[in-house]
Chains A and B, each alone.
Chain A
Amino acid sequence: MTSFEFEGRQIPIELGDSIATALYRSGVRTFSRSFKYHRPRGLYCGTGDCPNCSMTVEGEPAVRTCVTPATPGLEVHRSTGWPSADIDVFSALWWLRPFMPVGFYYKSMHKPAAVWPIAERFIRQLAGLGDVPLNQAPDDRERRYHHADVCVIGAGIAGLTAALVAADRDETVVVCDEGRVGSKIPPGALDSRITASLAQVRRDRRITLIEHGTAFGIYEGPLVPIVAADGLHLVLPKRVVVTTGAAERHGVFAGNDLPGVWLARGAAVAVGRHGLGLGNHAVVVMETEYALDNLASIQAAVRIDAVLAPSALAARIPTGLRVIVDGKVERALGRARLRAVEIRSPQGVERIGCDTLILAFGLVPRDNLVRQATAASVTVAVGGDVATPGLGLEAAIASGRAAGRGEPTPLEEPTLPAAPCAGFVCLCEDVSAADLDLAWAEGYQGTELLKRYSTATMGPCQGAMCHGHLRSFVAARSPVPILSVATTARPPARPVRLQDVAAGARYPLEWHTGLHERHLEMGGIMEWAGVWKRVERYGDVMEEYRAVRERVSIMDVSTLGKYHLAGRDATAFLERLYPCHVANLKPGRSRYALLLNEAGYVFDDGLVGRFGAEEYYLTFTSSGADAMESWLRDWAESWGHTVRLANQTGTLGAINVAGPRARDLLVKLSDDPVDSKTIPYGGLARITIAGVSCLLLRVGFVGELSFELHHPRLETVKLWDALLEAGRELGVRPHGLEALRLLRLEKGHLIVGQDTDFDSTPAKLGLEWAVKMEKSEFVGRTALLRLKDIEPNRILRAFTFPGNDVPLEGAQLLEGTDRVGYLTSSRYSPVLGYGVALAWVYRHRGTFPTTVEAIDGSGRTMVGTVAEAPFYDREGGRLRA
């Protein structure tokens, strides 16, 4: 005998049990305590439509136990009630209800203001449906895509028929059901037909069946997300078939929420499928022909003392049962459990002692999903009970066939129940008819207003139980049809965990350079840089910094955007794209280039290098590397230029060799000349270093003599190791991003994205020298022409801070008490002995401030003075050495 744990005891499991049926068999009657008043709630719908059986299963709150299979070893407990759900002291709240009418938290406990935070803590403690686990790591669920022709939601007889019909038309089908197929159906003719169809579905390879898979929405596309045990299934069908069936109609009268009150189908499944004993004395409300089938199985399990039926049905009630013709349940009596019902009939009011009340008021379609599916791209067919509630077996099969063929079925406007007068309308949120009365009196007149004010229909069941009652409540009070319309149906139609929606999101793209493993071996601390992982530092940043300034250092810069561009129109294309001159660039030379968008704003920068007449090498920032391909292709296509573009970002590695002794290091590894005459600053050459053929770019981002070596990625480790080995006696060591940030800041070089904003024009950045307005055309030129007469209201400037400390990046700049800017980059410069920074400053009293007070996140205040960049090696002698 297998079992699971429930609040410290072992509950035996029988074949086919859900958690709820196993608990019921073991004597549990109070399954939860209600949201607001802590009223005891027992099994009610048995079909996953109401919130009553919600418990915490394996640490997860609000699990509907009636549709969750009982599996050995589960840990289950009730989420609400203290000291236990059986004896809950807070059930006294029911007697305090005059003090907490609907919306009471909007009206009371707000004066004095200090009261509310205290009251709120108590309310939050008392209300609710359990605790969300905060410390639980989500498991690694996966996301799967199904590109099928048809998605069938609901595997009842109509759904299975539709799936088979569609498969026969050679369409691929995904069919899902939120439980085990057939588990909500009492034994009988329907059950046998489902079993037969299910066997056929399982044999058909064109059909994918997802059991225990809950479709919680129909999105544009269409897209049907299904949450199943093995993760999230995203179905992208051509059309959708909704056969979600119908739920038994909720009965609203005083005491309607007592344990012992059942909806008929749930009761029939409990006795017919699971052999549960419902009680000793039952009263049955039989207002619908559909439920007559269930009467026999219920009769076998419990003594029926009375059946309430309308005169039309009275004759069809089996003989031997007492029928109260046209009797209505006035109220149910009892405290922890049902004890008696009061019945009003033409003969008068009668009280009948009973412990079970079974309600068959009719069926309401589970139409939430259909009502969501309004997008033009979604084709939906409906079949079975959801189209015509209670249509019977043969009719359901016929409508399933039609839906399987894709024939549109009109959704019947569901009949509304009698307007509720007393009792709980919304079980999830504990909203009673009296609450609605008060809300109506306060002016919330209409379904959408009542819903928002009282929160009726907004609980876990999303109105499955109460939506019709809310509408009939309004319809009975107002003749204006618009007020009683159905409220908007939105996903999720069923409760869904955030971790299920986020399935697959734990696998972000992470790009590695060819040296990634080397960096880790050398103790590199990695950081995210866009999609790349880059080295922030290997050890002491100052040591890395000094290696660059005093000796020689290498850095992995493989993440730079690297493009090869050639073709008949290459020169014309680049001349028209870049704001700098390209045509006059000599082969074997490169040039710094800004990239402007059409609005004249800087969005990237890099180098343009020229190999030959129509052959170029382009580099861009690491963050712009990928997107730049779309930019280049876009313009080349738009202008009709004949160019060929190869994105070599991933195929080429790049190592920057920098420092006063960089040349000494290269000479040791290469026979090719690397002297200043052959390869001057800005030079571009193909040379072989340590047996690796490299493209060498003489650049100057860090302000020292430096050579970028671009080479095949497969040889990057070989080159790296050779450089470290050969450079040992020169004192080489690698540097990471943190050292780079300081090095470049000393040179006053900005980083696009860190020091620039989306609307930074070259003028604002002090980079007008890189823009040649005399050119007849380049992207952004017209915008710059328009902007040239507009004085910028803010500019990027360099600042220095005396002393050995510097405000943190992001510090606010003040002049007096006026905010006049903020820092974008700041570092203490060891070589200069003071702090250096870049900052945006605003025009203040007609001019840009030159002396500012900086207040940073740590609360420190420092005075800074405007300065001219570069701070270090102003003449550029070291760079051009």
Chain B
Amino acid sequence: MALMFPCPQCGSRPFTEFWCGGELPDGGHGAAGDIEADYARVWLKRNVCGDQPERWFHHAGCRRWISLTRHTVTNLIHDVV
């Protein structure tokens, strides 16, 4: 596998330069809520078959987080922020 991520700071870089921060929960990362909502956000991953919003950390590059949408079947990437 040789995914290339379009890093907004560094350009196109191999995915091995990034750490995966997992899927982005509803309402975004770090959203506070009651106990039930918090439990769902931490433990009940959607694990979609299709486009999934994710966070990746460019540890071997700019050391910034990027958000992107990755198709979990085809690994095609779009909406990089």
> What residues of chain A have their CB less than 8 Å away from a CB belonging to chain B?
219-223, 234, 236, 375-377, 598-599, 626-627, 629-630, 633-635, 637-639, 647, 777, 782-783, 785-786
Contacts and interface: CB of A to CB of B under 8 A. Distances in A.
B76 interface: yes
Given A376-B74, A630-B21, A639-B30, A219 B1 contact: yes
8 contacts: A219-B2, A376-B71, A376-B75, A630-B63, A630-B65, A638-B28, A777-B32, A786-B39
A633 B66 CA distance: 11
A635 B30 contact: yes
A36 B81 CA distance: 58
**Which 4 residue pairs spanning A and B have beta carbons closest together?**
A223-B2, A221-B2, A376-B74, A638-B30
B2 A626 contact: no
B44 interface: no
B53 to A, nearest CB: 14
A117 B46 CA distance: 48
Contacts of B19: 627, 630
Given A219-B1, A376-B76, A630-B65, A782 B59 contact: no
Given A630-B59, A638-B29, A782-B33, A236 B4 contact: yes
B2 A234 contact: yes
Q: Which of B2, B4, B43, B65 has the most CB of A within 10 A?
A: B2
Given A234-B2, A786-B38, A634 B28 contact: no
Contacts of A221: 1-4
Contact of A634 (B1, B35, B65): B65
A236 B2 contact: yes
Contacts of A629: 59, 63
B45 interface: no
A634 B32 contact: no
B49 interface: no
A598 B42 CA distance: 7
A626 B43 CA distance: 25
B22 to A, nearest CB: 11
A599 B65 CA distance: 21
Contact of B2 (A222, A599, A637, A786): A222
Contacts of B41: 598
B35 A626 contact: no
A634 B33 contact: no
Interface in B1-54: 1-4, 14, 19, 21, 28-30, 32-35, 38-39, 41-43
Nearest to B15: A221
Contacts of A647: 63
A236 B33 CA distance: 44
B55 to A, nearest CB: 7
A215 to B, nearest CB: 14
Given A599-B42, A783-B38, A634 B76 contact: no
B76 A377 contact: yes
Q: Which of B1, B28, B76 has the most CB of A within 10 A?
A: B1
**Count class of interface residues, chain B:** 20 to 34
B70 to A, nearest CB: 11
A633 B64 contact: yes
Nearest to A376: B74
Contacts of B39: 783, 786
Nearest to B3: A221
Interface of B: 1-4, 14, 19, 21, 28-30, 32-35, 38-39, 41-43, 55, 57, 59, 63-65, 71, 73-76
B80 to A, nearest CB: 15
Given A377-B76, A785-B35, A633 B63 contact: yes
B33 A223 contact: no
B64 A220 contact: no
Given A220-B75, A638-B28, A786-B38, 17 more contacts: A219-B1, A221-B1, A375-B75, A376-B73, A377-B3, A598-B41, A598-B42, A630-B19, A630-B59, A633-B64, A634-B65, A782-B34, A782-B35, A782-B38, A783-B39, A783-B42, A786-B35
Nearest to B39: A786
A376 B43 CA distance: 30
A635 B64 CA distance: 12
B55 A634 contact: yes
A786 B37 CA distance: 11
B1 A223 contact: yes
A599 B43 CA distance: 8
Contacts of B4: 221, 236
A760 to B, nearest CB: 16
Nearest to A597: B42
Contacts of B43: 599
B65 A782 contact: no
B40 to A, nearest CB: 11
A288 B13 CA distance: 49
A342 to B, nearest CB: 52
A785 B39 CA distance: 11
A26 B62 CA distance: 61
Given A377-B74, A638-B28, A220 B42 contact: no
Contact of B3 (A220, A626, A634): A220
Contacts of B35: 782, 785-786
B1 A220 contact: yes
Contacts of B3: 220-221, 377
A570 to B, nearest CB: 17
A192 to B, nearest CB: 37
A181 B56 CA distance: 43
Contacts of A223: 1-2
A634 B29 contact: yes
A376 B1 CA distance: 12
B33 A626 contact: no
Contact of A220 (B2, B57, B59): B2
A630 B64 CA distance: 8
A634 B38 contact: no
Contacts of A634: 21, 29-30, 55, 57, 65
Contacts of A377: 3, 74-76
A781 B75 CA distance: 35
Contacts of A222: 2
A626 B57 CA distance: 12
Contacts of B55: 634
B18 to A, nearest CB: 10
A627 B39 CA distance: 24
A741 B17 CA distance: 34
A777 B64 CA distance: 25
Contacts of A786: 35, 38-39
B9 to A, nearest CB: 13
A197 to B, nearest CB: 29
A641 to B, nearest CB: 11
A221 B2 CA distance: 5
Nearest to A235: B2
A627 to B, nearest CB: 8
Contacts of B1: 219-221, 223
B1 to A, nearest CB: 5
A222 B29 CA distance: 31
Nearest to A647: B63
B78 to A, nearest CB: 12
A220 B77 CA distance: 13
A637 B21 CA distance: 14
Nearest to B1: A220
A630 B65 CA distance: 8
Contacts of B34: 782
A511 to B, nearest CB: 14
Contacts of B71: 376
Contacts of A599: 42-43
B6 to A, nearest CB: 13
A613 B41 CA distance: 34
B27 to A, nearest CB: 11
A785 B34 CA distance: 10
A220 B2 CA distance: 6
A375 B35 CA distance: 41
Contacts of B63: 629-630, 633, 647
A569 to B, nearest CB: 14
